Copies of this chain bind each other. A is one copy, B any other.
């Protein structure tokens, strides 16, 4: 079922938003960049550079381009890196391109479960208020055993 609405507008709108963000910085909304964005938007989990390139092999997308676009997206705050298993770094869209969520990694089946109903907002807000930290982004990573595996 779709948890959509939360923070992300629908597909079309997000691409327009990305294009605007790029142009604001004097950068171009090229076909390659939009393709890479779409691949990330479709994926249910973080993708490595390699994974993105693989999914765009038919479009003759050079992997060097993926590296460069990914670096750009990180710098622009469009994606952020997350450690997938024990080492591999993957990239994932962040708000407002994708609704905020936390990660739960199951030690048994190895799956990464996204938890959209973030129960930490309150505590993070409190930290901003009381401890003087201005938190603009947060991400919780939890390890353990998922429902299905117990």
Interface residues of A (CB under 8 A from B): 74-75, 81-83, 86-87, 89, 104, 107, 113, 115, 119-120, 122-124, 126-128, 131-147, 150
Residues of B within 8 A of A119 (CB): 123, 126-127
Given contacts A83-B89, A132-B147, contact A139 B137 (CB under 8 A): no
State how many copies of this chain the complex holds. Answer: 2
Q: What is the bound-complex CA distance between A147 and B130, given in angstroms?
A: 11
Residue contacts A-B, CB under 8 angstroms, 12 given: A74-B87, A81-B83, A104-B135, A120-B120, A131-B147, A133-B145, A133-B147, A134-B144, A135-B144, A136-B145, A137-B143, A139-B141
Picked from B81, B131, B143, the residue with its CB within 8 Å of the CB of A136 is B143
Residues of B within 8 A of A132 (CB): 146-147, 150
Residues of B within 8 A of A127 (CB): 115, 119, 142
Q: Which residue of B lies closest to A75 (CB)?
A: B86
Picked from B74, B87, B115, B131, the residue with its CB within 8 Å of the CB of A86 is B74
Picked from B74, B113, B120, B138, the residue with its CB within 8 Å of the CB of A123 is B120
Residues of B within 8 A of A86 (CB): 74-75, 81
Q: Are the C-beta atoms of B126 and A135 separated by less than 8 Å?
A: no
Q: What is the bound-complex CA distance between A123 and B75, given in angstroms?
A: 31
